[in-house]
Amino acid sequence: MHRFFIRKTLFSILTLLIVVTLVFFMLRAIPGGPFTREKPLPEATRERLEEAYGLNEPLMVQYFTYMGNLFTGDLGPSFRKPAYSVNELLATGIPQTFQIGLLAVIVIIVVGIPLGVISALKANTYIDYGVMILATVGITVPSFVIGSLFILLAQNTSWMPVGGLTQPISYLGPVVALSGYSLAFVSRLTRSSMLEVLRQDYIRTARAKGLSESKVIFKHALKNGLIPVITYIGPMIAAIMTGSFVVERIFVINGIGKYFTESIGARDYTLVIGVTLFYASFYIIMVLLVDLAYSIIDPRIRVSK
Protein backbone atom coordinates (compact mmCIF):
# COMPACT_ATOMS: atom_id res chain seq x y z
CA MET A 1 0.00 0.00 0.00
CA HIS A 2 2.81 2.43 0.90
CA ARG A 3 4.61 1.66 -2.37
CA PHE A 4 1.36 2.32 -4.19
CA PHE A 5 0.99 5.79 -2.68
CA ILE A 6 4.65 6.66 -3.22
CA ARG A 7 4.54 5.53 -6.84
CA LYS A 8 1.24 7.35 -7.45
CA THR A 9 2.53 10.54 -5.81
CA LEU A 10 5.72 10.58 -7.89
CA PHE A 11 3.76 9.80 -11.03
CA SER A 12 1.30 12.63 -10.21
CA ILE A 13 4.09 15.17 -9.70
CA LEU A 14 5.73 14.14 -12.97
CA THR A 15 2.38 14.39 -14.78
CA LEU A 16 1.78 17.90 -13.41
CA LEU A 17 5.26 19.01 -14.47
CA ILE A 18 4.64 17.70 -17.99
CA VAL A 19 1.24 19.41 -18.13
CA VAL A 20 2.66 22.77 -16.99
CA THR A 21 5.58 22.51 -19.42
CA LEU A 22 3.37 21.64 -22.38
CA VAL A 23 0.89 24.43 -21.65
CA PHE A 24 3.72 26.94 -21.10
CA PHE A 25 5.36 26.32 -24.48
CA MET A 26 2.09 25.83 -26.39
CA LEU A 27 0.84 29.23 -25.21
CA ARG A 28 4.06 30.87 -26.36
CA ALA A 29 3.72 29.17 -29.77
CA ILE A 30 0.30 30.77 -30.38
CA PRO A 31 0.60 33.97 -32.47
CA GLY A 32 0.02 37.18 -30.51
CA GLY A 33 0.47 37.76 -26.81
CA PRO A 34 -1.23 39.09 -23.68
CA PHE A 35 -0.76 42.68 -24.83
CA THR A 36 -2.03 42.15 -28.37
CA ARG A 37 -5.12 44.27 -28.88
CA GLU A 38 -7.59 44.81 -31.70
CA LYS A 39 -6.32 48.41 -31.53
CA PRO A 40 -2.54 47.91 -31.20
CA LEU A 41 -0.75 49.51 -28.26
CA PRO A 42 2.07 51.97 -29.01
CA GLU A 43 5.33 50.09 -29.50
CA ALA A 44 7.03 51.75 -26.51
CA THR A 45 4.10 50.91 -24.21
CA ARG A 46 4.04 47.28 -25.32
CA GLU A 47 7.81 46.94 -24.78
CA ARG A 48 7.55 48.41 -21.26
CA LEU A 49 4.72 46.02 -20.39
CA GLU A 50 6.64 43.02 -21.70
CA GLU A 51 9.71 44.11 -19.74
CA ALA A 52 7.63 44.49 -16.57
CA TYR A 53 6.30 40.93 -16.89
CA GLY A 54 9.63 39.45 -18.04
CA LEU A 55 8.33 38.60 -21.52
CA ASN A 56 11.36 40.21 -23.15
CA GLU A 57 13.62 37.52 -21.66
CA PRO A 58 14.63 34.41 -23.66
CA LEU A 59 11.96 31.72 -23.60
CA MET A 60 13.97 29.24 -21.50
CA VAL A 61 14.75 31.97 -18.94
CA GLN A 62 11.00 32.70 -18.69
CA TYR A 63 10.29 28.98 -18.25
CA PHE A 64 12.79 28.37 -15.45
CA THR A 65 11.77 31.61 -13.71
CA TYR A 66 8.12 30.52 -13.79
CA MET A 67 8.92 27.00 -12.58
CA GLY A 68 11.05 28.42 -9.76
CA ASN A 69 8.15 30.61 -8.60
CA LEU A 70 5.75 27.68 -9.02
CA PHE A 71 7.72 25.50 -6.60
CA THR A 72 7.24 28.25 -3.98
CA GLY A 73 3.49 28.32 -4.61
CA ASP A 74 3.52 31.56 -6.58
CA LEU A 75 1.45 31.29 -9.77
CA GLY A 76 2.48 34.79 -10.87
CA PRO A 77 0.52 37.94 -11.70
CA SER A 78 -2.47 38.01 -14.02
CA PHE A 79 -1.55 39.79 -17.28
CA ARG A 80 -5.04 41.13 -17.97
CA LYS A 81 -5.93 41.88 -14.34
CA PRO A 82 -2.68 43.36 -13.04
CA ALA A 83 -4.21 44.32 -9.69
CA TYR A 84 -4.57 40.62 -8.84
CA SER A 85 -2.28 37.61 -8.74
CA VAL A 86 -3.42 34.27 -10.14
CA ASN A 87 -3.44 32.90 -6.57
CA GLU A 88 -5.88 35.66 -5.54
CA LEU A 89 -8.17 35.09 -8.54
CA LEU A 90 -8.34 31.34 -7.88
CA ALA A 91 -8.86 31.87 -4.14
CA THR A 92 -11.78 34.19 -4.93
CA GLY A 93 -13.46 31.90 -7.45
CA ILE A 94 -12.90 28.43 -5.97
CA PRO A 95 -15.32 28.68 -2.98
CA GLN A 96 -18.39 29.51 -5.10
CA THR A 97 -17.46 26.93 -7.75
CA PHE A 98 -16.98 24.30 -5.03
CA GLN A 99 -20.31 25.07 -3.41
CA ILE A 100 -22.45 24.47 -6.50
CA GLY A 101 -20.13 21.68 -7.71
CA LEU A 102 -20.33 19.76 -4.44
CA LEU A 103 -24.13 20.05 -4.32
CA ALA A 104 -24.36 18.88 -7.94
CA VAL A 105 -22.15 15.85 -7.22
CA ILE A 106 -24.28 14.92 -4.18
CA VAL A 107 -27.46 15.14 -6.28
CA ILE A 108 -25.93 13.02 -9.05
CA ILE A 109 -24.81 10.24 -6.68
CA VAL A 110 -27.80 10.25 -4.32
CA VAL A 111 -30.42 10.41 -7.10
CA GLY A 112 -28.67 8.93 -10.14
CA ILE A 113 -27.46 5.61 -8.72
CA PRO A 114 -30.73 4.63 -6.96
CA LEU A 115 -32.70 5.53 -10.10
CA GLY A 116 -30.44 3.28 -12.19
CA VAL A 117 -30.75 0.41 -9.71
CA ILE A 118 -34.54 0.71 -9.53
CA SER A 119 -34.75 0.89 -13.31
CA ALA A 120 -32.67 -2.30 -13.64
CA LEU A 121 -34.73 -4.17 -11.03
CA LYS A 122 -37.94 -3.04 -12.75
CA ALA A 123 -36.63 -3.60 -16.28
CA ASN A 124 -39.22 -3.34 -19.09
CA THR A 125 -41.87 -1.90 -16.80
CA TYR A 126 -43.48 1.53 -16.78
CA ILE A 127 -41.06 2.58 -14.01
CA ASP A 128 -38.10 1.58 -16.19
CA TYR A 129 -39.52 3.38 -19.23
CA GLY A 130 -40.21 6.52 -17.17
CA VAL A 131 -36.68 6.63 -15.75
CA MET A 132 -35.12 6.08 -19.17
CA ILE A 133 -37.24 8.82 -20.76
CA LEU A 134 -36.13 11.27 -18.06
CA ALA A 135 -32.52 10.12 -18.50
CA THR A 136 -32.68 10.64 -22.26
CA VAL A 137 -34.12 14.12 -21.76
CA GLY A 138 -31.38 14.91 -19.25
CA ILE A 139 -28.65 13.83 -21.66
CA THR A 140 -30.02 15.60 -24.73
CA VAL A 141 -31.02 18.93 -23.15
CA PRO A 142 -27.89 21.09 -22.76
CA SER A 143 -27.11 22.92 -19.54
CA PHE A 144 -27.59 26.38 -21.06
CA VAL A 145 -31.21 25.49 -21.97
CA ILE A 146 -31.93 24.32 -18.40
CA GLY A 147 -30.23 27.43 -17.06
CA SER A 148 -32.21 29.72 -19.37
CA LEU A 149 -35.47 28.09 -18.23
CA PHE A 150 -34.60 28.81 -14.59
CA ILE A 151 -33.74 32.42 -15.45
CA LEU A 152 -37.10 32.75 -17.24
CA LEU A 153 -38.83 31.28 -14.17
CA ALA A 154 -36.96 33.64 -11.86
CA GLN A 155 -38.02 36.67 -13.90
CA ASN A 156 -41.68 35.76 -13.43
CA THR A 157 -41.59 34.83 -9.76
CA SER A 158 -40.61 36.62 -6.58
CA TRP A 159 -39.23 33.67 -4.59
CA MET A 160 -36.32 32.88 -6.86
CA PRO A 161 -33.45 35.34 -7.45
CA VAL A 162 -32.34 35.86 -11.05
CA GLY A 163 -28.63 35.41 -10.41
CA GLY A 164 -25.92 35.07 -7.79
CA LEU A 165 -25.79 32.82 -4.73
CA THR A 166 -27.35 35.14 -2.17
CA GLN A 167 -30.05 32.78 -0.85
CA PRO A 168 -30.37 28.99 -0.40
CA ILE A 169 -33.02 28.84 -3.15
CA SER A 170 -30.61 30.54 -5.56
CA TYR A 171 -28.52 27.33 -5.65
CA LEU A 172 -31.41 25.38 -7.23
CA GLY A 173 -30.95 26.58 -10.80
CA PRO A 174 -27.13 26.24 -11.03
CA VAL A 175 -27.16 22.80 -9.34
CA VAL A 176 -29.88 21.41 -11.61
CA ALA A 177 -28.23 22.84 -14.74
CA LEU A 178 -24.82 21.55 -13.69
CA SER A 179 -25.97 18.07 -12.67
CA GLY A 180 -28.55 17.39 -15.42
CA TYR A 181 -26.36 15.59 -17.96
CA SER A 182 -24.26 13.59 -15.49
CA LEU A 183 -27.31 12.61 -13.42
CA ALA A 184 -28.97 11.15 -16.50
CA PHE A 185 -25.78 9.45 -17.66
CA VAL A 186 -25.09 7.87 -14.25
CA SER A 187 -28.68 6.53 -14.16
CA ARG A 188 -28.31 4.90 -17.57
CA LEU A 189 -24.83 3.57 -16.78
CA THR A 190 -25.98 2.11 -13.44
CA ARG A 191 -28.98 0.47 -15.10
CA SER A 192 -26.98 -1.19 -17.89
CA SER A 193 -24.24 -2.32 -15.49
CA MET A 194 -26.73 -3.76 -13.01
CA LEU A 195 -28.63 -5.60 -15.75
CA GLU A 196 -25.40 -7.24 -16.88
CA VAL A 197 -24.48 -8.26 -13.31
CA LEU A 198 -27.97 -9.58 -12.56
CA ARG A 199 -27.59 -12.05 -15.46
CA GLN A 200 -24.37 -13.54 -14.06
CA ASP A 201 -24.27 -17.14 -12.81
CA TYR A 202 -23.20 -16.21 -9.28
CA ILE A 203 -26.37 -14.12 -8.88
CA ARG A 204 -28.49 -17.07 -9.97
CA THR A 205 -26.55 -19.27 -7.54
CA ALA A 206 -27.11 -16.81 -4.69
CA ARG A 207 -30.85 -16.78 -5.37
CA ALA A 208 -30.92 -20.59 -5.68
CA LYS A 209 -29.35 -20.85 -2.22
CA GLY A 210 -32.34 -19.01 -0.83
CA LEU A 211 -30.70 -15.69 -0.01
CA SER A 212 -33.09 -12.81 0.38
CA GLU A 213 -33.47 -10.50 -2.62
CA SER A 214 -32.11 -7.53 -0.66
CA LYS A 215 -28.96 -9.51 0.26
CA VAL A 216 -28.49 -10.60 -3.37
CA ILE A 217 -28.81 -7.01 -4.59
CA PHE A 218 -26.85 -5.10 -1.94
CA LYS A 219 -24.20 -7.71 -1.06
CA HIS A 220 -23.48 -9.35 -4.41
CA ALA A 221 -24.88 -7.37 -7.34
CA LEU A 222 -24.51 -3.73 -6.37
CA LYS A 223 -20.79 -3.69 -5.56
CA ASN A 224 -19.87 -5.22 -8.91
CA GLY A 225 -22.43 -3.17 -10.79
CA LEU A 226 -21.00 0.07 -9.39
CA ILE A 227 -17.44 -0.42 -10.69
CA PRO A 228 -18.11 1.13 -14.15
CA VAL A 229 -20.10 3.91 -12.47
CA ILE A 230 -17.21 4.76 -10.14
CA THR A 231 -14.85 4.83 -13.12
CA TYR A 232 -17.05 7.55 -14.66
CA ILE A 233 -17.78 9.42 -11.44
CA GLY A 234 -14.11 10.13 -10.61
CA PRO A 235 -13.30 12.30 -13.66
CA MET A 236 -16.87 13.66 -13.58
CA ILE A 237 -16.34 15.07 -10.09
CA ALA A 238 -13.13 16.75 -11.25
CA ALA A 239 -14.94 18.32 -14.21
CA ILE A 240 -17.91 19.54 -12.16
CA MET A 241 -15.95 20.77 -9.14
CA THR A 242 -13.66 22.88 -11.34
CA GLY A 243 -16.51 24.93 -12.72
CA SER A 244 -18.64 25.44 -15.79
CA PHE A 245 -18.27 28.59 -17.85
CA VAL A 246 -21.81 28.34 -19.25
CA VAL A 247 -23.59 27.79 -15.92
CA GLU A 248 -21.55 30.43 -14.08
CA ARG A 249 -22.15 32.94 -16.87
CA ILE A 250 -25.92 32.36 -16.97
CA PHE A 251 -26.38 32.60 -13.20
CA VAL A 252 -23.80 35.40 -12.69
CA ILE A 253 -21.60 33.33 -10.38
CA ASN A 254 -18.10 34.57 -9.76
CA GLY A 255 -16.45 31.14 -9.96
CA ILE A 256 -13.37 29.88 -11.78
CA GLY A 257 -15.26 28.28 -14.68
CA LYS A 258 -15.16 31.57 -16.59
CA TYR A 259 -11.37 31.71 -16.25
CA PHE A 260 -11.05 28.63 -18.46
CA THR A 261 -12.31 30.53 -21.50
CA GLU A 262 -11.60 34.16 -20.63
CA SER A 263 -7.92 33.53 -19.88
CA ILE A 264 -7.35 31.76 -23.21
CA GLY A 265 -9.06 34.54 -25.21
CA ALA A 266 -7.04 37.16 -23.34
CA ARG A 267 -3.71 35.26 -23.73
CA ASP A 268 -3.32 35.53 -19.97
CA TYR A 269 -0.45 33.04 -19.81
CA THR A 270 -0.14 32.71 -16.05
CA LEU A 271 -3.90 32.42 -15.47
CA VAL A 272 -4.24 29.73 -18.15
CA ILE A 273 -1.46 27.67 -16.54
CA GLY A 274 -2.88 28.27 -13.05
CA VAL A 275 -6.38 27.09 -14.01
CA THR A 276 -4.99 24.11 -15.96
CA LEU A 277 -2.77 23.14 -13.03
CA PHE A 278 -5.73 23.32 -10.66
CA TYR A 279 -7.87 21.13 -12.91
CA ALA A 280 -5.05 18.61 -13.51
CA SER A 281 -4.32 18.35 -9.77
CA PHE A 282 -7.98 17.76 -8.96
CA TYR A 283 -8.31 15.21 -11.74
CA ILE A 284 -5.27 13.24 -10.54
CA ILE A 285 -6.60 13.19 -6.97
CA MET A 286 -9.96 11.88 -8.15
CA VAL A 287 -8.32 9.13 -10.24
CA LEU A 288 -6.33 8.10 -7.16
CA LEU A 289 -9.52 7.96 -5.09
CA VAL A 290 -11.18 5.87 -7.80
CA ASP A 291 -8.30 3.36 -7.61
CA LEU A 292 -8.76 3.15 -3.84
CA ALA A 293 -12.53 2.76 -4.22
CA TYR A 294 -11.99 -0.25 -6.50
CA SER A 295 -10.12 -2.10 -3.76
CA ILE A 296 -12.79 -1.25 -1.17
CA ILE A 297 -15.70 -2.41 -3.32
CA ASP A 298 -13.93 -5.50 -4.65
CA PRO A 299 -10.94 -6.69 -2.55
CA ARG A 300 -9.83 -8.84 -5.50
CA ILE A 301 -8.69 -5.60 -7.16
CA ARG A 302 -5.54 -4.73 -5.27
CA VAL A 303 -4.18 -1.20 -5.36
CA SER A 304 -0.63 -2.55 -5.46
CA LYS A 305 -1.15 -3.96 -8.94
- Tens-place pLDDT, residues 64-95: 998 998 888 888 888 878 788 888 888 888 88
pLDDT of residue 115 exceeding 80: yes
- SS3 (DSSP) at 33: coil
Averaged pLDDT for residues 241-248? 78
What length is written for the chain? 305
Averaged pLDDT for residues 112-119? 92
Predicted confidence band of residue 303 (pLDDT cuts 50, 70, 90):
low
- The torsion defined by the Cα of 270, 272, 278 and 281, in degrees rounded to 10, comes to -100
pLDDT per residue over 25-74, tens digit each?
A: 988 888 777 777 666 777 777 777 777 777 888 889 989 998 998 888 88
pTM tops 0.85, yes or no: no
- Rg from Cα positions in the chain: 24
How far lies 46's CA from each of 26, 34, 42, 76, 217, in Å? Answer: 22, 10, 6, 19, 67
pLDDT of residue 305 exceeding 60: no
- Write the burial class of residue 42 (CB in 10 Å: 0-12 exposed, 13-18 middle, 19+ buried): exposed
| Distance, CA of 45 to CA of 35 (rounded, Å) | 10
pLDDT per residue over 1-33, tens digit each?
A: 677 778 778 888 888 899 989 989 988 888 777
Residue 110, pLDDT score: 94
Phi, psi of 26, deg, nearest 5: -65, -40
Residue 32, pLDDT score: 75
